[in-house]
Amino acid sequence: MNSNSDFLVLFLAPVREFLEDDSVSEILINGASQIYVERRGKLELTSAKFAGEAQLMAAAANIAKSVDRILDERHPDLDARLPDGSRVHATIPPISRCGTIISIRKFKKDILTLDKLESFSSIPHEGALLLNAIVKLRKNTIVSGGTSSGKTSVLNAMSGLIPEKDRILVLEDASELQLQQKHCVYFETRKPDKNGEGEFSIRDLVIASLRLRPDRLVIGEIRGKEALDLLQAMNTGHSGSMSTIHANSPIDALRRMETCALMSGVELPLSAVRMQVASAINCLVHTMRLPDGSRKVVDISEVLPLENGDYKTSKLMEWKTKSISPDGTVCGAFRLCNRPSFAGEAQIMGIELPQYS
């Protein structure tokens, strides 16, 4: 952490060692006397404690103050970022029933590239080749998965495959992505201030960004109404855009996009929204955190045209878990499934694809 965060570190003293320990990825404070950390994908209960609820509440209030927000009975929930880029979420009683709850997701200093994901067996070489073709052929892609399944990391790794010649606009709620290209322009949303004014949402950013001549839009996460604007952008020539969404399966990701688009308030029949989703999104990449704490790309699928009004996908690659040993180790294998419909396109462009039998 840097010097202007000294006062926060002071208030967060009981968890300071974890803030400074690079092997810790998350710190979960459940009231003053129960603190868990995550290391290598696994949660550990620590012996660290805050002196009491008042001290913990003071830490939360100071985090809120550092970002000019209020955390009190009327505003019991806070999303913020520490000066080092770590993301913090705080919730206080009576919303939380066991004292002040703070979760800190540490800012990752080293970027997970596709090569690194391959070396961790998070994706096989064939999967990496598929992702490369998907990005190079400008397929619009959504990375889906549960909380902390590795969506943002995969999005970041995929963004590394975007050619240098493209102008990339990065839109995020809280800045996490670190692209390697030179021609990248970063935007971040702004929360409403104490008076509830001045909000600039992801949706506002999507609309604004379209006037800034993007070759590619990279959006941190789709959570709401902005889905419709993104779908329209993807359908009107902004191909090769990518984002993430919280979902339990690839098909669920399409349904979530649909639900989010319907939240926009624009009167559109469901069938029209479905058609937009199915034509805007070309590929789905699904991530999962397995019981042994490892994260994997468990599915890469293509989106096909609607069939009888419902979504249809074609699986290109999948991970199949075969067994889970008593110590939690997961045994399984990746396997290639259907040949991509863009195989011909890839061949013309000289892009290598895995060998499909």
Ligand X SMILES: Nc1ncnc2c1ncn2[C@@H]1O[C@H](COP(=O)(O)OP(=O)(O)O)[C@@H](O)[C@H]1O
- Judged by the rule CB under 6 A, the positions of this chain that interact with ligand X are 25, 108, 112, 117, 120, 122, 145, 147-153, 295
150 binds, among Mg ion, ligand X, none (CB under 5 to 8 A by kind): ligand X
CB of 145: closest distance to Mg ion in angstroms? 9
Asked if residue 189 binds Mg ion (CB under 5 A), the reply is no
CB of 32: closest distance to Mg ion in angstroms? 28
Closest by Cα among 43, 33, 8, 46 to 100? 33
Which CB atom, from 221 or from 299, has the smaller least distance to Mg ion? Answer: 221
108 binds, among ligand X, Mg ion, none (CB under 5 to 8 A by kind): ligand X
CB of 321: closest distance to Mg ion in angstroms? 23
CA distance 216 to 213: 9
Closest by Cα among 312, 316, 344 to 129? 316
Which CB atom, from 85 or from 93, has the smaller least distance to ligand X? Answer: 85
CB of 147: closest distance to Mg ion in angstroms? 8
Stretch near Mg ion under the rule CB under 5 A, chosen from 85-93, 145-153, 235-243, 319-327: 145-153
CB 92 within 8 A of CB 58: no
Tokens 């400074």 locate to 20
Asked if residue 152 binds Mg ion (CB under 5 A), the reply is yes
- Burial code (b: 16+ CB inside 10 Å, e: under 16) for 330-342 equals beeebebeeebeb
Stretch near Mg ion under the rule CB under 5 A, chosen from 57-65, 150-158, 185-193, 252-260: 150-158
Task: Read off φ and ψ for residue 201, nearest 5 degrees.
Answer: -90, 175
149 binds, among ligand X, Mg ion, none (CB under 5 to 8 A by kind): ligand X
Asked if residue 276 binds Mg ion (CB under 5 A), the reply is no
| Cα angle value 33/38/41 (rounded, 5°) | 155
CB of 185: closest distance to ligand X in angstroms? 22
60 binds, among ligand X, Mg ion, none (CB under 5 to 8 A by kind): none
CA distance 298 to 143: 11
Asked if residue 149 binds Mg ion (CB under 5 A), the reply is no
Which CB atom, from 42 or from 335, has the smaller least distance to ligand X? Answer: 42
Which CB atom, from 120 or from 356, has the smaller least distance to ligand X? Answer: 120
Edge-first strand order for the sheet with 283-289 is 184-188, 168-172, 216-222, 242-246, 141-145, 283-289, 295-307, 310-324, 330-336
Q: How many residues form the binding site for Mg ion (CB under 5 A)?
A: 2
86 binds, among ligand X, Mg ion, none (CB under 5 to 8 A by kind): none
CA-CA distances (angstroms) from residue 17 to 110, 176, 187? 19, 22, 32
CB 167 within 8 A of CB 185: yes
CB 1 within 8 A of CB 84: yes
Which CB atom, from 151 or from 238, has the smaller least distance to Mg ion? Answer: 151
12 binds, among ligand X, Mg ion, none (CB under 5 to 8 A by kind): none
CB of 150: closest distance to ligand X in angstroms? 3
Q: Is 295 helix (H, G, I), strand (E, B) or coil?
A: strand
Q: Where do contacts with Mg ion occur on this chain (CB under 5 A)? A: 151-152
